[in-house]
Copies of this chain bind each other. A is one copy, B any other.
């Protein structure tokens, strides 16, 4: 949240949600409203942001948040000090491929094709975003990350393509193994090796 606010704009929780959805979608999460509004309250308590009620005598006035100097300091500190954990990838398609023995091969194929096509669509979207931000002053870093995202999806598409080419072979191998009743034995073996 502070990172988003560190661009200097005054934003509402709703703005933050929209902006996060749009700009972080390629490499980060889309925080829920409950999280955003909760965090904003904390930030204000900590003095890292200040809010300004825009309209309403009402209980639910629109509330714009602005980062404070203390908040900017906190972002800088975070950037310098917070440990970078390894990236987390939750890849449902690969999970299903991993459990391919439980699926119909035709289904696996069409799922992979769909994934390849989706990846290509994402690549195109990222490319369009690069176009749109490339010559914006002050957007050098976001643009660089967008370029990274475009390539990420191009790579993802290519990996799906490669796996598509390997699929028949894997299905054949799996069938052969099952005919020999090897599934249980071999997982036992692998367990040994892991230990």
Q: B-contacting residues of A (Cβ < 8 Å)?
A: 3, 6-9, 18-19, 22-24, 26-29, 72, 75-76, 79-80, 84-104, 107, 111, 114-115, 118, 122, 132-133, 136-145, 147-149, 151-152, 155-156, 159, 162-163, 166-167, 169-171, 173-174, 176-178, 180, 182-191, 193-194
Residue of chain B at shortest CB distance from A143: B170
Q: Which 10 A-B pairs have the closest CB atoms?
A: A100-B141, A137-B177, A140-B173, A137-B182, A138-B177, A138-B183, A27-B94, A79-B103, A140-B170, A27-B91
Contact B138 A166, beta carbon cutoff 8 Å: no
B contact residues around A173 at 8 Å (CB): 137, 140
Q: A114 vs B191: C-alpha distance in the bound complex, in angstroms?
A: 32
Report the separation of the CA atoms of residues A141 and B89 in the bound assembly, to the nearest whole angstrom: 19
The residue in chain B whose Cβ has the minimal distance to the Cβ of A9 is B187
- CB neighbours (8 Å) of A141 from chain B are 97-101, 170, 174
Contacts of A6 in B (CB 8 A): 99, 101-102
